[in-house]
Amino acid sequence: MDDRKKEKIVKLCSPLELVEYTLVKEALDQAGIECLDTPHFDAAYDDLFVPSSGYADIYVYESNLEEAQKILDSLEKPAPAESQPESEEENEF
């Protein structure tokens, strides 16, 4: 833990909703990547004096940024579509 005191913390993302926030946090946790967050809903003056975007900001240590970004990218890709029949004849009931 002492090594982490000097390591830079960088912003990974700003999830827009609670569901997205939870998915990102759980994926990072499962990968063993320590992350920090700053929820916007706790701010007493949220959007009043300082505009905020998203549900929260999620930060990771700089040494984990590349791996965390790969995890984030995998969450953002849509699941592959199931194979569709190539002809209408295969669709007959």
Query: What's the CATH code of the domain at 58?
Result: 3.30.70.790
Any domain includes 66:
yes
Position 49 scores a pLDDT of 55
Which comes out higher in pLDDT, residue 3 or 11? 11
Any domain includes 31:
yes
Residue pLDDT, tens place only, 57-68: 999 999 999 999
Any domain includes 20:
yes
Q: What range defines the domain where residue 21 resides? A: 2-75
Asked whether the CA dihedral 46, 50, 55, 59 is positive or negative, the reply is negative
Any domain includes 88:
no
Integer Cα distance of 58 and 39 in angstroms:
8
Domain count, the chain: 1
Integer Cα distance of 64 and 23 in angstroms:
18
Any domain includes 81:
no
Any domain includes 38:
yes
